[in-house]
Structure formats: structure tokens, C-alpha cells
Homo-oligomer: A and B are copies of this chain.
Amino acid sequence: MEMSNHISTGKYAADISSIRDAQVRIKSFIHRTPVLTSESLNAMSGRKLFFKCECFQKGGAFKFRGACNAIFSLDDDQAAKGVVTHSSGNHAAALALAAQLRGIPAYIVVPKNAPKCKMENVKRYGGQVILSEPTVQSRESVATKVLQETGGALVHPYNDGRMISGHGTIVLEILEQAPQIDTIIVPISGGGLISGVALAAKAINPCIRVLAAEPRGANDASLSKAAGEIVILPETNTIADGLRAFLGSLTWPVVRDFVDDVIIVEDKEIVEAMKLCFEILKVTIEPSGAIGLAAVLSDSFQKNPKWKDCCHIAIILSGGNVDLGVLWDSFRR
């Protein structure tokens, strides 16, 4: 198989060049999402905040950037056979939508017990849902079988240079929209988003601080940074359902070398941030998407002298796929 030009030749899975290539490749397919500001939230945080609204991205989350880059990086022969992934979340819908735009099949392996609305999302974008048992073993063996039968290309949700490069395009936009920023706060899960953000930001301006925001109940990135190696948790417990993955072989080196710190956030702070997004920003945010605002308002950030010079902070509102009933229930808890 021909090597595409998305493969970085350097030490990491992506670089500023692969990110700029991604921007050209996906530009006509993605939304250039707006940056919103709020005097009320500036006053609450004591900083100037710039909210990059990836919740308005196609598919409702940043994932579409990477998925689009991966799909349109494929050569025609490979593309014709389609793409395969296992995910029941935003990645699945984003990949299905990107595949639909190129007119190629997307095979999405989904555990039987996945929420119906998420399966519907995948189907709405023309993705082919293939059910597995709700175990990691079953999911992986079904995905392997689909890969063998179709000859399709696997597109991993985050451990993939094409995904990382696509996500990095967010920074190119932010730096045009709010060139004064000195800090970017990014949700961390598998590390695809923050890897793209960190590689782009540090290449353009090494002084920009890149901070990860992570839920207390899934704090593997924080533990990994402390241990100097990938830590896998036996279980996770957080309302932020999009932040339960662990770092991968391609994302860990970037997180290790370029993420300045990890801010741990409590679930109740995430819920409060979702509420502020709804009431003040007028934006629908899923729990994972609201964690950046939660982080900047948290005591652990506000009282840490290390971050007192973070004055102009970009916060990536990574996604908005939340059921209104779930939102309402979380507010009343």
C-alpha cells in the first residue's frame, strides 16, 4: 500500500507540515467554527476566555476534522474498499459522515448495548452498523473479521496520525481568530485532540501553554505523566462519557513531551460548566466538551501560581452531542 503524505517523517505521528496538509485537504468539507467570548465568564474566571466551538462542527464534534483527513488521505483503491472502526461515540458518526462525503462505505462495529441514539446517528450518515457483544474481545474480533472481509482501512479513533493531524487544524484557526492567546485548554481522553493541538501550537509558538483537562474519575493522563509511562486504569467513573479512553502509542509521546500540565476536574464542576455554557454562552455542550471551562474555573487552576500568567485562554468546546433529558437530569442532581 502506498504511503500517504500524512505520515510524519519525524519523531511523532504528526507535525506542523502534516497539519497544514490536513487543513488544505479538509477545508472545503468542514465548518470553520466560530470563537465566542463572554464578559460574564471572563469576570468569573479572571481571564480572557476564547471558546472555540467545535460543538458546531459537522457531526457535532471535533472528530469530523480527523475523520475527514483520514478518509480523504486514502488512495482511490483503498478508499473504494471503505473504512472500518469500532466506536459508538462521536468518532463513529464523524467517520460515517466523512465516508458519505467521499461516497465510500463505512463499517462501524458497535456493541449491542450502545445507546440507540448513537446507532441512529451512524445510520443517518449512511454508516453500516455491525453489532458485537459488549466486550472488548468481541468488539476487536468483529472488527478484525470486518477488516478481512472488506479489505477496508482501519481508522482508529485517536491512535492515528491522520486523525491527530486533522484535529491540529483547530489551532491554525484559533490563531487566526484570537492571535493573542497564550494558553489552550483541551479535554484529554485517548489524546488525539490534544496531540494535534499541542503539535500545532508548539510548532507555531513554543510559548503557548497547552493544558489538558481530565475528570477525577478517569485521571489516567495525569497518572501517566507522573509515572512517565502509559497508565491504564482498571475502571473509570465520570459523567464525561467521551473521556474514558486511555492514551495510545502515538498520542502518549506527544502528551509526555508537549502537554504542560493536566488539570483534574470533579464531575460536579463539569455539570456546573455545562450549565454555564447553556445559560451564558447559549451553547449545547456535552460533559466532555465542557471540561475545559470547568478546569479554568476550578480551584486547582485558579489557585495554582504556575498558571497565574495565563491571561488569554482558548478553551476547546469539543462537542455538543448530549441528550436534553440527560442534561436536565444532571442539573437537578
Q: Which residues of A approach B to under 8 Å, CB–CB?
A: 31, 34, 36-37, 39, 53, 55-56, 58, 60, 275, 278-279, 281-285, 320, 324-325, 327-328, 331
Partner of A325, one of B283, B285, B328: B328
Query: Which 8 pairs, one residue from A and one from B, show the smallest C-beta to C-beta distance?
Result: A282-B320, A34-B34, A282-B284, A55-B282, A328-B328, A278-B284, A36-B56, A56-B282
Q: List 9 A-B contacts (CB under 8 A).
A: A39-B58, A56-B282, A56-B283, A279-B284, A282-B283, A283-B283, A283-B284, A324-B327, A325-B328
Bound CA–CA A328/B328 (angstroms)? 7
| Cβ contact within 8 Å between A328 and B320 | no
* A-side interface mostly: helix
Residue with the greatest number of chain B CB neighbours at <10 A, chosen from A60, A275, A279: A279
Count this chain's copies in the assembly. Answer: 2
Q: How many whole Å from A65's CB to the nearest CB in chain B?
A: 16
Residues of the B chain whose Cβ atoms lie less than 8 Å from the Cβ of A285: 282
Q: How many whole Å from A281's CB to the nearest CB in chain B?
A: 7
Bound CA–CA A325/B260 (angstroms)? 39
Q: How many whole Å from A57's CB to the nearest CB in chain B?
A: 9
| Cβ contact within 8 Å between B325 and A282 | no
Nearest residue, chain B, Cβ from A328: B328
Given contact pairs A56-B281, A283-B284, enumerate 7 new A-B contacts (beta carbons under 8 Å). Answer: A36-B56, A56-B283, A279-B284, A282-B320, A283-B283, A284-B284, A325-B328
Asked whether A324 and B331 contact (CB < 8 A) given A56-B281, A283-B282, the answer is yes
| Cβ contact within 8 Å between B282 and A60 | yes
Q: How many whole Å from A176's CB to the nearest CB in chain B?
A: 14
Residues of the B chain whose Cβ atoms lie less than 8 Å from the Cβ of A282: 53, 55-56, 60, 283-285, 320
Nearest residue, chain B, Cβ from A124: B40
Bound CA–CA A282/B278 (angstroms)? 10
